[in-house]
Structure 1
Amino acid sequence: MRKVEASIIIKTKPEVIINAFTELEMLNNWWGVERVLIDKKIGGVYILAWNIGDQSIGFVTAGKIKEYRYGELLVIDNLVNLNPEKPFFGPMLLTIETKTLENDLTELNLCQDGYQYGKDWDWYYRAVKKAWPKVLLSLKNYIEDNNQF
């Protein structure tokens, strides 16, 4: 199976980055997530929703927290992506890991693993491979522009 990896260095503390993936206000500000159900513990649910209308939800990403270490690591297992225009994609594994560097810098390493093959999977793989670096840059800009230290 294929995986998508992306990394970025952000001027902040590691816990700010992990919080940016688990707190609704932060998720909304940098990624446009509108609703969440996140139980920050091993075995807890991890559900994000975007493009919410009066009677619909545009996109949902959901999984189960496999590993969680505050400020260090968040691993989402059985990750699925629900999209009204495509088949459902999953299960996958999403790993978000931080590494403290010098000068108040933190390295964020992200890996989304478990991409299968086929026309729709190939489309999804290319889309995510292109998107994650842009999404992480958005996260970096949000944290650094708002002095999230």
Structure 2
Amino acid sequence: MKPPVINEVEIGCSPAMILSAFYDPEHLKGWWGVEKSLIELRTGGVFTLAWDYSEAGVKYVSSGLISNFKPAARLCIETMIYVNPERSILGPMTMDISVAKTEIGGHLKVIQDGYQSGGDWDWYHEAVVDAWPKALQFLKNYLESVAK
């Protein structure tokens, strides 16, 4: 097993707005480039994101089940899988997204866990370690510009 990937960032807007960036289709497209999503915002609900959508199909998909949702505070997705046509289907994993109110807005923490070792797992873990800090900085810039 590989260690969880943990990333945190302070964002100058409300915790509710920060958390909504992970389930609102407009926000998902704006900061993460998600082209299609199906999210049932409740415990047991589906959480599916798709990127690079074309007539040929979908190139990347992440999907799981919501195990915990507290508005403006927490969104936890379990049994999450990642599909990439050039790799093995990877999963199950968890992604735990939490937001705490701060003086400037909110403190976002994202924990992604459940990584195995070897082959495509090593590639994916390295990709996620590299990508999350950049993605969260992009999210911060996006939300702070939208909140103005």
TM-score of the two chains, using structure 2 as the length reference = 0.97
Gaps of 5+ in 2: none
Aligned to 1:92: 93
2 CA distance for matches of 1:134 and 1:62?
21
2 CA distance for matches of 1:101 and 1:17?
12
Percent of residue pairs identical? 40
Cα deviation digits, residues 103-130 of structure 1 (max 9, x gap):
x321000000000001211111011001
Alignment partner of 2:135: what SS? helix
Aligned to 1:112: 112
Q: Which runs of 4+ in 1 moved over 2 A?
A: none
Alignment partner of 2:77: what SS? strand
The CA deviation at 1:145 is 1.4
Gaps of 5+ in 1: none
The CA deviation at 1:38 is 0.2
Aligned to 1:55: 56
Alignment partner of 1:146: what SS? helix
2 CA distance for matches of 1:90 and 1:135?
21
When the two chains are superposed, the root-mean-square deviation of aligned CA atoms in Å is: 0.9
2 CA distance for matches of 1:141 and 1:110?
17
